[in-house]
A and B are shown apart, each in its own frame.
Chain A
Amino acid sequence: MTDILRISGPLTLWLTAFSAVYGLQGLICSPRWAEAGLDLAAGRMALALAASLVLGLQVAFLLALRTTRFASCSGFVRTLSLGLSTVALVASAWTLIPVATTSACL
């Protein structure tokens, strides 16, 4: 079961983080954000922080899977989990580029 978690963990983290950042963007663009006394600049900051956190977590996951403590005993699972962790890191970077490049609520 732990090996299945090693394999499925990184991309599941990507999916969770991606959905959460999308949700945050929805919240920032909603009336609730303004009602809380926050503006779009604060929203942009929150999005940038969230994206940085996601990337940091993905890097941490990748590094952890290389350590003897968290790596699998099976060579196949170790290679597969490292490969998928790299995919998750690249996917996070690619799909969160809009945080830095496009308007948030137009």
Chain B
Amino acid sequence: MTALRLHRELTRIWASEPGWKGWFTTVNHNDLGRMFIVASIVFFVIGGVLAMLIRAQLASPRSAFMAPETYAQVFTMHGTIMMFLFAIPLIEGVAVYLLPKMLGTRDLAFPRLTAYGFWCYVLGGSLLILSLLLGIAPDSGWFMYPPLSSTLGSPGINSDFWLLGITFVEISAISAAVEITVTILRYRAPGMSLDRMPVYAWYILVVAVMILTGFPPMILGSILLELERAFGMPFFQVENGGDSLLWQHLFWLFGHPEVYIIFLPAAAVISTILPVMARTTLLGYGWVVAAAVSLGVLSFGIWVHHMFTTGIPHMGLAFFSAASTLVAVPTAVQIFAWIGTLWKGRPELHLPMLWILAFFATFVIGGLTGVMVAVVPFDWQVHDTHFVVAHLHYVLVGGFVFPMLAALYYWLPHVTGRRRFFKLGETAFWLIMVGFHITFLAVHWAGLLGQRRRTHTYDEGQGWEIINLIASIGGFVTAIGFALVILDIVVNAAVAVRGSRDPWQAGTLEWAMPTPPAAYNFASLPEIRSRDPLRDDPALPVRIARGEGWLGDASRGRRESLTVATATGEPAQVVVLPGNTGLPLLMAVTTGGIFVGMLLKLYWLVPLAALGVATLAARWAWGLGATRDEGPVEGRPGLVLALASESVDPPGWWGSLFLLLADATLLGSLLFGYAFLWTVAPNWPPPTWAEPGLLAPSLALVGAALSVTGIQLADLRLRQERGPWLGFLLGLAGSVALALAAGMVLLGTDPTAHAYNATLWVLGGFVVLHAGLAGLMTLYLTCRYAAGFVTGRRIGEARIVRLWTDYAAGTGLLALAAAWLPGAVA
């Protein structure tokens, strides 16, 4: 087959639907990556306009520009949009677009999940913007501390928009994290062992695992606060055994890792672009990988440094002060690796490089003020002042936005296939750099002079007037700079001249394809023998296009890609990916029904929408697999591989594993919250402990045992090509028994009486939900077996259900033990 004919065949197989319909049915990572990026930039513009409103308000003392209520909504939404609707989705968008190309594969592991995540993000984000337009936006600050955000401080619907809207949006982050993790670990080009992986992929792997373990505490906090607001379950009300500090712990358990979730992708971009700009390779690849992993984990041990003023004993403060200073070490390792790379290379000052230099200057200042606020006595002085506002902007704008602008200009020729012609970007660079530093150096100063953050105005005569005016002028200069960047991008994308394939002479695989890229990325998947395959083999793109690599034959007429062994990169399976469908959009809209039902107190809509989601999920999964055994298929001439659907560890098993990691973190956070209330909250112990008796624990034990052994038996019988019916039945009975036992925790317990009772309800609800889910999955597996999709060879689905069932049984027993143990001991 000639290269052109192969291209036409693959385009027919992989292309999105033409016209407007394609926007709603595409599952291709090229489309969805671009859609994520554009949507996040739209939200950035909205957040930027809000920033300008804030600076207009603070430009003069006693300003009547905004009422206090409006100002509260504006600064809350500015922070919320920038953190949740701009930064994280932009990271996801860039990763969704780039990762498969850098890894040498054709798409992400779960294309429909990418689309589902995108639609959840857009719908959830739109919900929040709608609240802003209606004047009922969240107004308690972007970290929503109760009691200000509870019904006591915010009786309206404002806080509900935040709690439900952000949780809806975070479905997208969790979805992206699951598929990024599985893609990096399994979907790489053959031969790409861990040490040959692009450094960008290492960073994004760390970030994805951080999202899976960092977001659940905040999702749990949002659920608990919404339960308190909607149903009076008093998790954060002191008089009923709650404690508002619990929210701060849960929020910052997420919030501090979030800073690194935002910084590490920027560091990934720098580690990728800087060596190319310096015409060399990254100095200390192994050190940089070690630093990224260290930073990722260490960032989870410093959440309390946001709570230094909450009355924590000295030892607790010292633990977190020590841990906070520790993170400077891996950060410095990266900075020195980058400086070393510049030193050994021959740097060229293109626009992406300018932005990287801006990053160095700005982020180092932000890092130094970070060390200052890690020192407890200094933090006590500047807490809640504009000094902290300036510090976080230096870190987030310097450490994230500037590198992302470098990324934008670096990969623009890849996305558009055009060479930048109009040079507005350089002017924009200087406007932003000068404007930003004027603004936030001044804001540091105002903070040191005592100006409080989140206060809509200030009196004359405190020495802050001229500082604020200067900061506001700088802010508007910055905004003009960002507007010029957008104009520059649009103009260059639309009318600039066609460019060459690899304009920067980079060595990574994303440049080994024509630009803009075809929907299938690679006509055949390359065999990788080094970390910079394109630099080492300039003829690689031609051989890829000729179909001389893996899967270079499109005759099977379906979307095929490869999985590899995690560590060595040995080819393992051929995966068949799903085609275009509107199902993800429909599923996202239906999921939205759950959140809208809660928001508008239309509680009848919640179970209805949940039922819709379950039905669509079943429909979603039903379309996978086959009813006949196909056997091994040819991966390249003379070499055959098993199909993923005929393997014991299909991608779905890996996806489930990492999704359950996030779920286990949520349960861990709940148990942490329970222990926190038990040890620290006033008004404990509760008036009465729940007494388990004998029946409920026995039922739970029998249920867990049945569900685990039942599905194991079914698995065994399937492998022996014998009927698994008894196993399915036992598994189903076990799940029902476990759910019933958990239901007995709820009986006779008033969840509004005390935080302990409310916690019992959440623990019981967790078990009912998971046991129910395991039961539904067993029922689904039974139907799949009856329809001929599951056999001894096609055992993957049974393995996935077994994973979920084992997990439901294990966590169910743990949660119920936590619920019953205090009562049993008492």
- Chain A residues close to B by CB (< 8 Å): 1-4, 7-8, 11-12, 14-15, 18-19, 21-23, 25-27, 29-30, 32, 72, 74-77, 79-80, 83-84, 87, 91, 94-99, 101-106
Contacts and interface: CB of A to CB of B under 8 A. Distances in A.
Given A18-B301, A83-B290, A84-B293, A4 B185 contact: yes
B676 A11 contact: no
Contact of B313 (A79, A84, A104): A104
14 contacts: A18-B319, A25-B319, A32-B678, A74-B568, A76-B193, A87-B294, A91-B326, A95-B322, A95-B323, A95-B326, A96-B319, A97-B318, A101-B318, A106-B314
A15 to B, nearest CB: 5
* A-B interface, 4 closest residue pairs, ranked by CB to CB distance from nearest: A98-B318, A76-B195, A11-B297, A30-B679
A4 B566 contact: yes
Contact of B323 (A1, A2, A18, A72): A18
B557 interface: no
B322 A98 contact: yes
Contacts of B286: 76, 79-80, 83
Given A11-B297, A26-B676, A26-B680, A94 B322 contact: yes
B679 A76 contact: no
B316 interface: yes
Given A79-B286, A84-B290, 7 more contacts: A2-B567, A11-B297, A26-B680, A76-B193, A77-B567, A95-B319, A102-B314
A11 B679 contact: no
Contacts of B300: 15
A42 B755 CA distance: 30
B315 interface: yes
B600 to A, nearest CB: 38
A106 B313 contact: yes
Contacts of A22: 304, 316, 319
B289 interface: yes
A96 B323 CA distance: 9
B342 to A, nearest CB: 24
- Which DSSP category, helix, strand, loop or mixed, fits chain A's interface? helix
A15 B316 contact: no
A23 B297 contact: no
B298 A11 contact: yes
Nearest to B682: A31
A15 B568 CA distance: 28
A76 B298 contact: no
A72 B193 CA distance: 13
Contacts of A11: 293-294, 297-298
Nearest to B567: A3
B194 interface: yes
B675 interface: yes
Contacts of A12: 297
Contacts of A97: 318, 322
Given A4-B185, A25-B315, A102-B315, A15 B193 contact: no
Nearest to B568: A74
A21 B319 contact: yes
A84 B194 CA distance: 16
Interface in B661-682: 672, 675-676, 678-680
Interface in B281-337: 286, 289-290, 293-294, 297-298, 300-301, 304, 313-316, 318-319, 322-323, 326, 330
Contacts of A91: 298, 323, 326
B211 to A, nearest CB: 15
Contacts of B676: 26
Contacts of A29: 313
Contacts of B314: 98, 102-104, 106
Interface in B178-218: 185, 193-195, 209
Contacts of B678: 32
A82 B304 CA distance: 29
A76 B676 CA distance: 41
A28 to B, nearest CB: 9
A1 B186 CA distance: 10
Nearest to A74: B567
Contact of A32 (B289, B293, B323, B679): B679
Contacts of A87: 290, 294, 330
Interface string B550-591: 000000000000000011100000000000000000000000
Contacts of B675: 23
Contacts of A103: 313-315
Contact of A74 (B193, B289, B294, B318): B193
Nearest to B657: A1
A44 to B, nearest CB: 10
B297 A14 contact: yes
A7 B195 CA distance: 13
A88 B298 CA distance: 9
Nearest to B205: A4
Contacts of B293: 7-8, 11, 80, 84
A4 B566 CA distance: 8
